[in-house]
Amino acid sequence: MKLKVLMLAAIGVMATQAAWAANISVTDAWARATKPGQPVSGAYMKIQSDADARLISVSSPAVPRVEVHEMKMDGDVMRMREVQAIELPKGKTVSLEPGGYHIMLMNLPKPIAAGEFIPLSLVVESGGKRQTVEVKVEARAPNQPVQNSH
């Protein structure tokens, strides 16, 4: 009887955790391939959430430093800066793309070859709770066309 109560309590906790977790969808994830001596690259993707959420950080076991950035016009000058979070409005697709929001891969230990996959861990906050979404981004040569993969 005691075991049954504990099992029901554990199921209740798991159901509660699932209830707050936003359902996050990531598509078209890619990064720029690099050349020897090039210490940075950018990663891009489309993110959609079924609840209001925020992308608050990104990390990778393959890249020493990962930051979330925005490129924005400041008068006549395009400026890039790190941002603390990217809003993910419920039901809307947010594009991380060249010239806008993107993920900077910095202090690369080696070049990223076209076709290589880089693991990224996206930390998303929704309803005061955090969850991690694991993504593998494929490196593409600068002149390689972007393919839609839904």
Pairing of strands 41-49, 24-32: antiparallel
Q: What's the pLDDT band for 103 if we cut at 50, 70, 90?
A: very high
For 124-149, what is each residue's pLDDT tens digit? 999 999 999 999 999 999 776 555 44
Pairing of strands 24-32, 129-140: parallel
d(CA 113, CA 45): 18
The pLDDT of residue 18: 44
The pTM for the full model equals 0.79
DSSP element (H, E) containing 100: none
Q: What's the pLDDT band for 150 if we cut at 50, 70, 90?
A: very low
Residue 32 clears pLDDT 60, i.e. is over it? yes
Residue 36 clears pLDDT 60, i.e. is over it? yes
- Over residues 35-57, the mean pLDDT reads 96
76, two tokens: 């006549």
**3-state per-residue secondary structure call for 46-74:** EEEECCCEEEEEEECCCCCEEEEEEEEEE
114, two tokens: 């076209």
Q: pLDDT > 90: what percent of the chain?
A: 69
The pLDDT of residue 63: 96
What rounded mean pLDDT belongs to the chain? Answer: 85
Q: What's the pLDDT band for 74 if we cut at 50, 70, 90?
A: confident
Residue 11 clears pLDDT 60, i.e. is over it? no
